Amino acid sequence: MVYSKPVVRAEEPAGSEFGDEASMVDIAGNCKRVLEGIRRAAERSGRDPRQVRLLAATKTQPVSAVRAAVEAGVRLLGENYVQEAQAKKELVGDIAEWHLIGHLQRNKARSAAELFSVIQTLDNPRLARLLDREGRECNRDVHVLVEVNLAGEQTKTGVAEEGLAPLLRDVSGLERLRVRGLMIVPPLADDPEASRPHFRRLRELRDSLNDLGLANVALDELSMGMTHDYEVAVAEGSTLVRVGTALFGPRGPSR
């Protein structure tokens, strides 16, 4: 297990705006290191590294840091809050694909459908219907992943394992909703190996749910793996790792 420690040259200033000056973190170097870690993990488990994409989790990071990641070749950006994404997307633009990786409230469904290429956190049918309606009104598909909560953590969002098939059956008829995969944030643990059973179970679920053959449900993506456990996630079949700290260094206070 190789843990890619972010290289931090100096303390990042705890600024108050997304447009803050560039920090001293070597983001390009960190991107290279993480991509290298993905490649190694994929090869060790007999996977093609090109099947795994790196998404930069940019919450609380200034626009300068987001730009640095894009310049380093990252083409997927993940934001947790609709408003924060809106502000940053105006400044960074469409050069990358923006994904929502934080919980989505129903009253933000409209903006989210407009802003994001993929909403990774669908976890209830009412939200699915709102997103579908948005898609029909704008005449385009809305791509989502279903967030799964395998550990049954009360404090976390996501669908429980037993709720997955019913949710997918429920939303599969929606005209403009495209369910593209599953996403998970396993319980926090120091040991990355603690995440492995969750990643493995998510892959098994993905495969068996695909076998249901539901309309508008093609579960190609497994969004799993963060800074401390992305190599384990890649070994277990991740197609999309969401990495923040290893690219940008420690986060400032949340907004």
Q: How far is the CB of 173 from ligand PLP (least distance, A)?
A: 28
CB 243 within 8 A of CB 34: yes
CA–CA distance, 160 with 149 (Å, rounded to integer): 5
Tell me how many residues contact ligand PLP (CB under 6 A).
13
| Interface with ligand PLP, residue 101, by CB under 6 A | yes
| Interface with ligand PLP, residue 242, by CB under 6 A | yes
Query: What residue is closest to ligand PLP based on CB?
Result: 244
Q: How far is the CB of 59 from ligand PLP (least distance, A)?
A: 5
| Interface with ligand PLP, residue 233, by CB under 6 A | no
Phi-psi region of 49 (alpha: psi -120 to 50; beta: other; left: phi over 0): alpha
Q: Per CB under 6 A, which region of 111-119, 171-179, 202-210, 236-244 contacts ligand PLP?
A: 236-244
CA–CA distance, 231 with 220 (Å, rounded to integer): 19
Query: Given the structure tokens 């209830």, which residue do they identify?
Result: 124
Q: Which two tokens stand for residue 55?
A: 């998404």
Nearer to ligand PLP, 171 or 183 (CB): 183
How many Cβ atoms from other residues are within 10 Å of residue 69's Cβ? 26
Q: Write out the binding residues for ligand PLP, residues 68-87 only, by CB under 6 A.
A: 80
Nearer to ligand PLP, 63 or 247 (CB): 247
CA–CA distance, 76 with 57 (Å, rounded to integer): 9
Nearer to ligand PLP, 124 or 135 (CB): 124
Q: Which two tokens stand for residue 91?
A: 């400044």
CA distance from start to end of the chain: 33
Three-class secondary structure of residue 19 per DSSP: coil
Q: Write out the binding residues for ligand PLP, residues 27-66 only, by CB under 6 A.
A: 57, 59
Q: Write out the binding residues for ligand PLP, residues 148-207 only, by CB under 6 A.
A: 185
Q: Give residues in contact with ligand PLP (CB under 6 A).
A: 57, 59, 80, 101-102, 185, 226-227, 242-246
